[in-house]
Amino acid sequence: MIIMKSGATKEQIATVIKEIENYGLRADVSQGDFRTIIGLIGDERKIPFDHFAILPGVKEARMVETPYKLISHEYAKLAGESERRIIKVGDIEIGGDELVFIAGPCAVESKQQLFKIAEGVKKAGAHMLRGGIFKPRSSVHSFQGLGAAGEDEATEALEWFREAGDRFELPVVTEIRGESQVDLVARYVDIIQIGARNMYDQDLLVKVARTGKPILYKRHFGAGIEEFLSFAEYMVAENNKDIILCERGILPLGKGKSYTRYTLDLAAVPVLQKETYLPVIVDPSHAAGRRDLIFSLSCASVAVGACGLIIEVHHNPIEALVDSQQQITPDELKKIITACQDIHKAIGNK
């Protein structure tokens, strides 16, 4: 990290950036009201910090030990940025003082199904609409989403999705499964979701970040906190800091019957908030894998500080083509939203 003097000129800043590039690294320039901070993207061990410390206009040159320095509180503080990043999507603020609820079907099955659910989650109090068009599945024989049938079918489903969002005034969120889908999906949605299975896909992270869209980024079920944040850094390095971190459960431990689909790592929420300024939400649906636990896990998530929830909702869960056992009804969603807002208020919106 290179900290420039408050009076550093544009020419002096440009000289430092050029020197960084000469050593094979890239520069992330953050210009505050009083000073400029230049983050180093690449292997900092290549950098002779003593040399950079004496360049004109430089106040201090230091190595940052954490592998996710661009999203660390230390970097944000020096750059004069807020302790928490608020991501604005229309009139909605993710990471602000109010909880944000994202709800909708696991998979978009038809236009009629989508609109019925969108109307239901809107009445329940949800702020955004989620829905899967490209579905990552463990089995090739399972329903892969309407988008798997071809580009025409994917485009039609995305048009329904956009229309439903506009009609019910709900920004829309959907997952992409691969790089070939990025440009198409980005034309229709407000937030692009990168699912747990793709957390490690560096090329996909970079391509999605370059769209400039906010990104809902899910933790892999086998990933540690440091891995999760380190891979999030790939997107921030592309000058996209609108990253929403999502805890969605890790692999269960021990022998015997598994009572949940995954184990919700509630401790990850406050840990992530202490390590980074990015907003953190929770997905109780995939963690539980069963609808009777969604209420409890949602309340617990808000109690430990989550700024929002993403929940799978279906007007008739038994008929859902994907993950029917973990989807709840709009009426159940309403009860969750009411309870979570009470908890949020009780703990002082912290």
What DSSP element (H or E) covers 229? Answer: helix 225-236
Is there a single domain that holds both residue 212 and residue 322?
yes
Looking at the fold, whether 49 and 171 belong to one and the same domain comes out as no
Q: Please state the rounded mean pLDDT for residues 10-35.
A: 89
Residue 79 located in a structural domain:
no
Please, which residues have CB within 8 angstroms of residue 256's CB and are 6 or more apart in sequence?
A: none
* 13 and 144 together in one domain: no
Task: Assess whether 99 and 56 both reside in one domain.
Answer: no
Average pLDDT over residues 93-117: 96
Q: In a 10 Å sphere around its CB, with 0-12 CB exposed, 13-18 middle and 19+ buried, how is residue 59 labelled?
A: middle
Whether 212 maps to a domain, the answer reads yes
Q: Is residue 78 part of a domain?
A: no
Supply the CATH number for residue 285's domain.
3.20.20.70
DSSP string, 117-168: HHHHHHHHT-SEEE-BSS---SSTTS---GGGG-HHHHHHHHHHHHHHHHHT
Examine the domain organization and report whether 286 and 198 are in the same domain: yes
Do 18 and 98 sit in the same domain of this protein? Answer: no
Give the structural domain span for 153. 87-346
In the numeric block, the tokens 């993207």 are attached to 41
Residues 55, 110 share a domain = no
Per-residue pLDDT tens digits for 145-180:
787 778 898 999 999 999 999 999 999 999 999 999
Helices (H), 28-110: 49-53, 73-78
Nearest to 192 by CA among 208, 207, 206, 178: 208
> Of the residues 12, 30, 63, which one is the last residue of a structural domain?
63
Question: Do 70 and 236 meet the contact criterion of CB atoms below 8 Å apart?
Answer: yes
Task: Output the six-digit token pair for 186.
Answer: 């980005």
For residue 137, the one-letter residue type is R
- Model pLDDT for residues 174-211, shown as the tens digit of each residue: 999 999 999 999 999 999 999 999 999 999 999 999 99
| Residue 41 sits in the same domain as residue 94 | no
- Of 284, 307, 282, nearest to 295 (Cα)? 284
Q: Which long-range contacts (CB under 8 A, 24 or more apart) does 139-142 make?
A: 142/322
Higher pLDDT, 218 or 151: 218
pLDDT (mean) for 122-140:
87
Are 53 and 127 in a shared domain?
no
**How high is the mean pLDDT of the chain?**
92
> What distance in Å separates the CA atoms of residue 20 and residue 335, rounded to the nearest whole number?
54
Same domain, yes or no: 248 and 305: yes
Quote the CA–CA distance of 36 and 13 in Å, as a whole number: 8
Joined tokens for residue 239: 């000058």
**Left if phi > 0, otherwise alpha if psi is -120 to 50, otherwise beta: which for 267?**
alpha
| Residues 69-86: tens digit of each pLDDT | 899 988 887 776 778 899
Say which CATH number the domain at 10 has.
Answer: 3.30.70.1140
**pTM for this entry:** 0.91
Q: What is the pLDDT of residues 318-340, one digit of tens each?
A: 999 888 999 999 999 999 999 99
3-state DSSP call for residue 21?
helix
Is residue 82 situated within a structural domain?
no
* Shared-domain flag, residues 118 and 59: no
Give yes or no: residues 23 and 162 share one domain.
no
Q: Does 68 map to a domain?
A: no
Q: Tell me, what's the pLDDT at 141?
A: 46
What's the number of domains the chain is made of? 2
Reference 98, options 333, 307, 269, 245; nearest CA is: 307
Q: Residue 259: exposed, middle, or buried by beta-carbon count in 10 A (0-12, 13-18, 19+)? A: exposed
Residue 102 lies in a domain: yes
What integer pLDDT is reported at residue 76 of this predicted model?
Answer: 82
d(CA 188, CA 162): 6
Cβ neighbors of 1 (< 8 A, separation 6 or more) are 37, 38, 39, 40, 61, 62, 63, 64, 69, 75, 78
Determine the Cα–Cα distance for residues 254 and 1; give it in Å rounded to an integer: 43
| Structure-derived torsion over alpha carbons of residues 226, 228, 234, 236, reported in degrees to the nearest 10 | -90
In a domain, 124, yes or no: yes
